[in-house]
Amino acid sequence: MKVLKKDLQSVVKALKSLTKKTERIEKKLDKLAKAKAPKKAKAKPKVKARKAKKKVVTRKIKKKAVKRKAVAKKAKRVPASESVFKIIKRSSKGVRTATLQAKTGFKEKKVRDIIYRLKNQGKIKSAQTGLYVKT
């Protein structure tokens, strides 16, 4: 209990010293503000004093329009089976799997899978082993 009481007293003491420091700073700021205020050369006749109203300053933040760059439209992706079928369709004598790999850039397994699907769909047929023609 005694330790807690000592801690609380030290906190109170620290808070008091902080308040004194802030008051001193406030007084210095007031003096600086008065010193910077421009003095008027002409004396104007006194007018009834009006109550000073505090002005609430609100700042409006303008949003800048973001300019977006024109994005080039991407070419539609042609399915792999369509690209292989087009190559086979263009040739009159037929196409070998090695030729399909070279023209499309696909791996051997992918070309074989595409050929299998096209044969099942009835779009192509095999003229010989490894040679495929349009039906």
Q: What is the pLDDT of residues 64-102, one digit of tens each?
A: 666 677 767 777 888 899 999 999 999 989 999 999 999
User: Which domains does the chain carry?
Assistant: 80-134 (1.10.10.10)
User: Counting Cβ atoms within 10 Å, is residue 132 exposed (0-12), middle (13-18) or buried (19+)?
Assistant: buried
DSSP state of 92: S
In angstroms, the Cα distances linking 40 to 44, 45, 52, 58 are: 9, 13, 19, 29
Give tens-digit pLDDT for 37-72. Answer: 666 556 666 666 666 666 666 666 666 666 677 767
Is the torsion defined by CA of 23, 28, 29, 31 positive or negative? positive
Contact 94, 131 (CB under 8 A): yes
Amino acid present at 34: K
Q: Which strands sit side by side in the sheet containing 131-134, from one edge to the other? A: 95-96, 131-134, 124-128
The model's pTM is 0.45
